[in-house]
Amino acid sequence: MDQNQAHEGNSSEHRKSNIGVVMTIFYAIIYGGFVFLSVFYPSLMSLRTVFGLNLAITYGLGLIIIAIILAMVYNQMVRTRTVVKKTGSTLKPDQSELEK
């Protein structure tokens, strides 16, 4: 592995880490809202929302759905395109694509 590829790998890992931190903070704020309501305004959690469910259940299901959506968004954002060229019987990355 040459230095250019090593630098690209470090840059890619740094980018993935930044995206993950931002998404974690975003989710923590939403989750913090759930905890805040549960601790300081527990009576609000019994309010009826969609389909006759109370706010606690609706918020909890929303947290699960948001986590799944964030995971899919993260996966799309960090996906790197690797072009593979067949050389003989082994597959190797196309050097011209790696240099771009």
* pTM over 0.85, yes/no: no
In the prediction, which pLDDT does 62 show? 97
CB 34 within 8 A of CB 60: yes
In the prediction, which pLDDT does 10 show? 79
Residue ranges of the chain whose pLDDT lies below 50: 1
In the prediction, which pLDDT does 29 show? 98
Residue 32 CA to residue 40 CA, distance in Å, equals 12
In the prediction, which pLDDT does 65 show? 98
In the prediction, which pLDDT does 88 show? 56
In the prediction, which pLDDT does 93 show? 59
Tell me the domain boundaries of the chain: 3-98
Residue 4 CA to residue 2 CA, distance in Å, equals 6
